[in-house]
Chain A
Amino acid sequence: MRWLALHLRCRGVPAAAGAAVAGVVVLWWLGQAADEPRLRLAVALMSALVATVPFGSGLTGADPALERTAALAWPPRRAAHILAVMAAAAIIATVPALTSEPLATVGLTVRNTAGLGGLLAVGAAWGAQWAWLLPVGWTLVVVLSGPVSGHVYQEVLTWMVQPLGTTSAAASATTIAVVGVLTHAVLGGRR
């Protein structure tokens, strides 16, 4: 337990969780004022984004070279870290929904946080301080284009705003999440 507490502190998880909660609260308040369903979906997507992205800079420690010299095996721990990030983000993003009418279903939020967490992990392989670029950029482009349901490749590219039942969107989100977890477990991150 002590190891876990120290690990969370050295990765800046409390601060990130605080930022995530604050962001989700603000967005939930914004979403309450919205009536149009497409807008509510967009706000729900932004909630998933703001719940996931602050954990990005904590995916690597302050000295990755030092951590690599440790005796214990890092890959399962790193995989557990990124999975915990996805889970924490999902929980934080869905908690406001318990108080009143939710902006989106729990399943949708879980899918989105899993996919965004995967993108975050892939970005962290390049640099933890840059990890936010990929999820934020992709989400922005998708929000601006809106849900496109023509060809399969369009559904795959805009997987975040597709309705829950769309199999192509669920498949792409799962693929991204799995790729992210594996990348982070195997490669770790850079500063």
Chain B
Amino acid sequence: MTRRILRIEIRRSAALWLALGAALLGTALLYVAVDGWGGRWMPLALWQREYLFILWPMALGLGAWQAGRDRRCRTEELVAATARPRWQRVLPAAVAMALAGAAGYLLMYAGGAAQVAAYATYLPGQAVVTAGVGVLWMVSGVWLGMTVGALAPSRLTPPVTAVVGATVALVAITDRGYAHVPKMVHLLTPSPFGFWGDFVTVRGIVGVAHTVWLAGLAVSALAVFLCATRTARTAAVLPALVAAVVALAMLPDGRQRLPVPDAAAAALVCSAGPGPEVCVTRVHAGALADLRDPARRALATLSAKLPQAPTSVHETPESWYETRPVPRPRDVLLVALELAPWGGAKGSPDELRWRLLDGAGTRPCAYTAGNPDAARADRVARLAAAAWLADRVPPAGPDRDAARQAWQALRAFPAAEQRNRVAALRRAALACAEVNLLDLLVGDDR
């Protein structure tokens, strides 16, 4: 019989609206931002968790609305004369709403996963875990909302609850502006993660800690909702407090410590067959086909025009502002790639070629960070070197004119001198020597 009652509650309460709304709105929001997660599992999980900041307040508000049903329909007197104790009476509605919240979230994930499964090449288990923990956020949000709706019966309760939830989400999201809010607030919010790139993952203990916290929160919320007496309700808050303490003990302190580098994602996948080796990272393996020809042509250009040219192209997972010393081997051309959401590499073959030849096949160095003039000079010099190698006008962009001027100035020198200067630029960039690359390229001092 309770199964039939549960079916009645699912069909006739706000549960279906919650599930449908979360699924449709969530999927629409995901696809608006498909650029950020397309074809990769971990960014999908992070985006999914981030959108909980919108779904969670809506779950709160709808839960509060559902809990006010007896007041709105004026059935309070009727059910007061019935035999079942309060907790048995309200349990089917609570279960129905929780199932709906979970279903909506999972449908949203399925919507995103359909795209990723078609294009992804690397599936870390941690991505599924991170996304899956979000289900508990929806469940506990629904039950929290129902608790508030039961404790504060009023017409204003649903909108006020939703707005309060939204404010909590706002404070949690922008922790930079609230330096004195304790770190624990951020760690226990729907998404303490950020968008750190494709090569990081989250340690397993974070998922465990969040699961513990959310299980405690959900149990407490449900218990407070079901209990009728004040002492029972106060006692029911205990699981949430205990869970919070345990979770905080497990978590690293500070949001910056949450991401860890994912070695498996950064492992190289190389092209087969004859010709120079072109490798990309495993998570970007879909870009290999797009990279191969521009890479081989770039290698050919470099070996034709410069001494000690690289013989293979590898994608590097490091971002250029990494301050740790990164090995820059002379015989490998390192390049940074982005994955296009619908397969392939981001950028046309022409853009890829310019990126490969930039700085005569080197990566930017970090010592110019903080010094905009030096940074600009470096960029211009690198672009001019690429123009010299490609023997074409630099592409449209902010540094185009300056680079073009530098390229003209470079071509004024005799051919051997041009070659030496570009080779010197390449050596300096490989070693990350703190010199002005523009001076090196077109300056008068030798």
Contact = CB atoms under 8 A, between A and B. Distances in A.
B166 A141 contact: no
Interface stretch (B37-45, B141-149, B168-176): B168-176
A106 interface: no
B159 A36 contact: no
Nearest to A26: B167
Contacts of B119: none
A4 B113 CA distance: 55
Given A129-B65, A129-B155, A132-B162, A140 B178 contact: no
Nearest to A157: B32
19 contacts: A16-B156, A19-B156, A23-B160, A27-B167, A38-B177, A39-B178, A46-B170, A49-B166, A50-B167, A54-B160, A57-B156, A129-B72, A129-B155, A131-B159, A133-B61, A136-B57, A136-B61, A136-B166, A140-B58
B53 interface: yes
Nearest to A58: B155
Contact of B166 (A30, A57, A139): A139
Interface size class of A (residues with CB under 8 A): 35 or more
A43 interface: yes
A158 to B, nearest CB: 12
A31 B207 CA distance: 32
Given A42-B174, A132-B61, A137 B158 contact: no
Given A136-B57, A136-B58, A137-B54, A144 B156 contact: no
Chain A CB within 10 A, most for which of B170, B171, B176, B180: B170
A139 B159 CA distance: 13
A53 interface: yes
B51 interface: yes
Main secondary structure, interface of B, reads helix
Nearest to A47: B167
A54 B170 contact: no
Contacts of B177: 33-36, 38-40
B315 interface: no
B123 interface: no
A19 B159 CA distance: 11
B166 A15 contact: no
A139 B29 CA distance: 13
B50 interface: yes
